[in-house]
Each structure stands twice: as structure tokens, then as C-alpha cells.
Amino acid sequence: MDIKLNFINMSNDVNNTQIVVFQKNVSTDFDELSVAWKVISNCGRSANHPFVFPMQTMVTASDSDGNFMPKKISQNGQLFTVARSHSGNVLAATGVAPTSREVQVRNDLGSGAISASIFKDNRLLATKTGIAPGQKAVFEFKPTLWIGTASQVEEGKVMNSAVISDINTELSLLGVASADIVMTGGGAGTSAQPYLFALQNVVMG
């Protein structure tokens, strides 16, 4: 079931701050930076921005020849491989991942690195590059969203570590069907407060 979320700006923001929403890949062998899954811009005081966080996840891959393979629906616990077929390189679901919490993409090509990416709501959620033949990308996400303020962040692009380290609000979506995400704080000068994000009007599914 998709989760309906509604961002509400109840802050004293004076800088037209961008809001970035993302997930962190918690798999142990993951060293890539997080992707700005959704960026909310120009949402003024008392304005709101509804969006959906879908349960469905898609996986895709690209190869060193510059080919991008069609997105495929992925479930936790699935293993995908990129291998050479009669037509060229293809991405296919080929088995079960070692743990039911992960989606894995393995490079079964004889040569050439691949990249693997996860999408939600047709937006890039996470990506792993430089996967050599015989290696695999492992994606695992907790049922949480990270949210915070940022500047010069582009949706679908990898964020730098300084931006990510400044964001420390993790909102649990476990069992949530819908909720408001309310931002407070902000302001100018000495009266400025840190921005706070909280789930309100939570409806459990």
C-alpha cells in the first residue's frame, strides 16, 4: 500500500529553503552517497506539498557500453543479474538474494563494469556504480525517510557528504498509511531556531 504524505511548512523560514527527502541504503557493503529522492522547492509558509511514497520498487542497470536496461519491478529478497544474451546485455531476475531484506544486482558479464539503480515513484532512490564482473550491488532500506533542509540540491542526483551529515531527522513509516510531515523552526538573526520535522495526523494502515 502506498503511503500518502503531506509536507506542511509551519516554519519561520526566511530563505526559501529547499527540503530534501531520501532513504539511506543500510546494506553493509554500501559506500555510495545518498541520492536526493525528492526535493521540495518554493513551498512558502503555511503552504503544503502532498506526495506519495510508494511501496513498489523498480530496479535498473546500465553497462560500460552506455546501454540502459528497462526498469523491472523488484521485491526484497530478489537477485537480479546483468548477463550477455543473444541480443546483448540484459537485466533479469534470476533467483533469491541471501537475505529477504535485500535486492541484489550481480554483474555476470565477462568484462565491463555496470551500474545498478533503484527507483521509487519513477525517481532515483539509490545507485551503485563501478560493479565489476562477479561483483554485486546490495540494496537494503529501513521503512524510514530522512528529511532535512538543503541548498543547491538536485532531485535524482547524488548529494555530497556535507549535506547528508547535516540531516539528522529520520521518520519511521512502519505501518503508516498517511501522515503530515510538519516543519517548524527557522527564522532570522538571533531568534532563529533549528528546523524540526515531525509526523502529525498519522493514520496507521
**Count of domains for the chain:** 2
Considering the domain architecture, whether residues 158 and 187 belong to the same structural domain is answered as yes
pLDDT of residue 32: 80
Low-confidence ranges of the chain (pLDDT < 70): 28-30
Which residue, 139, 165, 195, sits at the end of a domain?
139
Considering the domain architecture, whether residues 118 and 146 belong to the same structural domain is answered as no
- List the grid coordinates of 68: 540502459
Considering the domain architecture, whether residues 14 and 35 belong to the same structural domain is answered as yes
CA distance 75 to 144: 17
For 28-79, the pLDDT digits (tens) are 666 789 999 999 999 999 999 999 999 999 999 999 999 999 999 999 999 9
Considering the domain architecture, whether residues 96 and 72 belong to the same structural domain is answered as yes
Considering the domain architecture, whether residues 123 and 64 belong to the same structural domain is answered as yes
Considering the domain architecture, whether residues 150 and 184 belong to the same structural domain is answered as yes
Considering the domain architecture, whether residues 77 and 146 belong to the same structural domain is answered as no
Considering the domain architecture, whether residues 150 and 128 belong to the same structural domain is answered as no
First to last CA, the chain: 8
User: Any long-range contacts for 84-87 (C-beta under 8 Å, 24+ apart)?
Assistant: 84/109, 84/110
- List the grid coordinates of 119: 527507483
Does the pTM surpass 0.75? The reply is: yes
Range of the domain at 73: 57-139
Return the number of other C-beta atoms located less than 10 Å from residue 29's C-beta: 10
Considering the domain architecture, whether residues 156 and 135 belong to the same structural domain is answered as no
pLDDT of residue 130: 95
Which residue, 98, 123, 139, sits at the end of a domain?
139
Considering the domain architecture, whether residues 73 and 119 belong to the same structural domain is answered as yes
CA distance 159 to 54: 22
Which residue, 139, 163, 186, sits at the end of a domain?
139
Asked if 43 contacts 9 with a C-beta cutoff of 8 angstroms, the reply is: yes
